[in-house]
């Protein structure tokens, strides 16, 4: 087995900036040299942007005819970068235009990465951005994103109870009770059971101090500005406390307009946001490009960048590899059993 951690990195949408940032990552830098990378990407997608990344060291890429085993990866020279093409066809990739073949290529890479994570050949799976709309249009109409798809393949049934979407920024860690549904649907679905399940999942996998953000302004002002915090959120927190869970201390409901600032100052290790944008607006405002998307609860580590496919930049050579480098650094921390912010502060 190789002494360095092994990361599988998927191409994302081949027509997006995924192939370019993969090449830029392996071109060098501290993060690239501190682990062994396996790129799961179509050769045609990499070749399409090769000239845009002249420092990529194309001669270091070793294209595999089949999915490599752990022993094959271990036998590679330390400077070599393994690449597996999950499609194997010499098609033409058009940067900035996601077509049916691109959606299929994104899914083929993702499926390969999941299999490698499940088998233990790699220590973590890092996914480049996909186009959810392209996959839903061309490949699978009910597709809603990496997180739910990976969990489904891993036989995890229930979001919140079994797995959570979380974002790790340098001084802010946020998990979400609900993800890619409309705001009205997120509010309609909110109940104490969902909050308790999310708290249990976060407690079991991470521990530490958790602040539950209120739903309404000022967490409802004791019912003056809405009753959900009084009738749904507060009872859920009490139920969790009464359950005897010992890995986490829970506070709230906390006023959502200040809880993220308080967490950044070190008062809490985590904020549990009640819907997608409540958490993501805070994360992306303070740490856009510096946050890591982490799927809590999977049987293997899966992380991703916090940005999209950036089709307008695809093929131009101007895509910023910095966010992916930071994700790799955070992923190596997770492999080592460390969160970016220690959960021991309040345990």
C-alpha count within 13 angstroms, C-beta hemisphere, residue 186: 18
Identify which of 151, 153, 191, 146 has the alpha carbon closest to the alpha carbon of residue 293: 146
pLDDT at residue 1, rounded to an integer? 45
Rounded to an integer, the average pLDDT of 177-183 is: 91
Q: Strand, helix or coil at 49? A: coil
pLDDT above 70 for 340 = no
Kindly report which listed range (67-76, 146-155, 256-265, 332-341) carries the lowest average pLDDT score.
Answer: 332-341
Could you read off the pLDDT of 84-123 as tens digits, one per residue? Answer: 999 988 889 999 999 999 999 999 999 999 999 999 999 9
Q: Per mean pLDDT, which range of 70-79, 210-219, 273-282 is the poorest?
A: 70-79
Q: What are phi and psi of 58, to 5 degrees?
A: -55, -30
Q: What would the pLDDT profile of 118-133 be if each residue is shown by its tens digit?
A: 999 999 999 999 999 9
Total-model pTM: 0.92
pLDDT above 70 (res 343): no
Residue 324 CB contacts under 8 Å (≥ 6 apart), including other chains: 21, 22, 24, 25, 126, 128, 305
Cα–Cα distance measured from residue 207 to residue 339, given in angstroms and rounded to the nearest whole number: 10
Q: Which two tokens stand for residue 67?
A: 């999915």
Q: Which residue's entry shows tokens 């406390």?
A: 241
pLDDT in tens, 201-212: 999 999 999 999
Measured between alpha carbons, how far is 119 from 8 in angstroms, rounded to an integer?
Answer: 12
219/229 Cα distance (integer angstroms): 6
pLDDT (tens digit, 9 = 90+) per residue, 33-86?
A: 688 999 999 999 999 998 888 776 788 899 999 999 999 998 898 888 999 999
């Amino acid at each position: 087995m190789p002494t360095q951690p092994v990361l599988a990195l998927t191409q994302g949408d081949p027509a997006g900036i995924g192939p370019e940032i993969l090449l830029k990552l392996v071109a060098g830098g501290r993060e690239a040299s501190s682990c062994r990378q396996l790129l799961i990407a179509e050769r045609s997608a990499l070749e399409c942007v090769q000239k845009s990344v002249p420092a990529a060291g194309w001669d270091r890429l070793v294209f595999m005819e089949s999915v490599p085993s752990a022993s094959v990866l271990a036998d590679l020279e330390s400077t070599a970068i393994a690449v597996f093409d999950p499609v194997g066809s010499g098609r033409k990739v058009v940067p900035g235009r996601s077509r049916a073949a691109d959606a299929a290529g994104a899914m083929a890479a993702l499926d390969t990465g999941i299999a490698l994570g499940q088998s233990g050949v790699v220590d973590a799976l890092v996914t480049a951005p996909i186009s959810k709309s392209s996959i839903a249009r061309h490949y699978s109409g009910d597709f809603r994103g990496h997180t739910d798809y990976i969990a489904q393949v891993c036989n995890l049934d229930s979001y919140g109870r079994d797995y959570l979407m979380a974002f790790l920024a340098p001084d802010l860690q946020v998990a979400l009770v609900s993800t890619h549904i409309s705001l009205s649907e997120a509010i309609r679905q909110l109940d104490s059971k969902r909050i308790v399940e999310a708290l249990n999942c976060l407690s079991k996998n991470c521990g530490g101090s958790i602040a539950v953000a209120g739903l309404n302004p000022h967490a409802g002002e004791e019912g003056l500005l809405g009753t959900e915090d009084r009738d749904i959120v507060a009872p859920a927190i009490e139920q969790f406390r009464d359950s005897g869970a010992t890995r986490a201390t829970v506070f709230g409901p906390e006023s959502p307009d200040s809880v993220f600032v308080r967490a950044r100052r070190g008062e809490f290790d985590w904020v549990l946001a009640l819907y997608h944008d409540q958490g993501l607006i805070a994360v992306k405002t303070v740490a856009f490009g510096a946050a890591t998307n982490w799927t809590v609860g999977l049987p293997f580590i899966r992380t991703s960048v916090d940005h999209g496919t950036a089709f307008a930049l695809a093929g131009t050579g101007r895509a910023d590899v910095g966010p992916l480098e930071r994700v790799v650094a955070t992923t190596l921390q997770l492999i080592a059993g460390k969160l970016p912010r220690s959960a021991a502060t309040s345990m």
